[in-house]
Structure 1
Amino acid sequence: MKNLVRRRDDRMVAGVCSGVADYLGLDPTLVRLLTVVLAIFSVGTAALAYVAAWILMPEV
């Protein structure tokens, strides 16, 4: 069973994108790029979701 967790070993800022990529089986760089694009086009809503995930996701 997979768990959605922030990763310490492959992090740029907080490890959220790396953890999501690991959970979904995607490349972390792709998830990071999608996060930046969403943050720009969602007028900051994605950035707020990132901060919420940073606070709520456990770190491994």
Structure 2
Amino acid sequence: MSEYNVKKLRRTHKGRIVAGVSSGIGEYVGIDANLVRIALAIATLFGGLGIGVYAIGWLLMPDESSDTSIVQDLISKQQDRSSTPTDWSGEHKPQP
């Protein structure tokens, strides 16, 4: 059985300045993270798009030490909360 070395887009700890988005993209694409940072800074200067792209990357890219992203964690928490019964006041009832 052969194993495939699959690249995964993740926020990295190595080279992290804020949340590791630029370093993760740089590592995935195979370029220097500073080039990604410069591109995001230029995009921020021309309409603020860089901040939005960085925020979306932070929310959707999982950390390298985790298998799920922040958004996936929030969705699973919400699904767990909605699966527990509530009374009419909206308070969660303990499971018997």
Greater RCO, CA 8 A, separation 6+: 1
2:28 to 19, 23, 26: 23
Matched, 1:45 2:59: no
- 2:60 maps to what in 1? 56
Identity score, percent: 39
Runs of 4+ residues deviating >6 angstroms = none
Amino acid at match of 2:45: I
More helix by share: 1
Aligned-CA RMSD value: 0.9
Matched, 1:2 2:38: no
Question: Gaps (5+ residues) in structure 1?
Answer: none
Q: Normalising by the residue count of structure 2, what TM-score does the alignment of the two structures yield?
A: 0.58
Shift of 1:29: 1.1
Question: How many residues of Structure 1 are paired with residues of Structure 2 in the alignment?
Answer: 59
Question: Gaps (5+ residues) in structure 2?
Answer: 1-5, 65-96
- Superimposed CA distance per residue, residues 14-35 of structure 1 (whole angstroms, 9 cap, x where no aligned partner): 1000000000000111111111
Q: Normalising by the residue count of structure 1, what TM-score does the alignment of the two structures yield?
A: 0.89
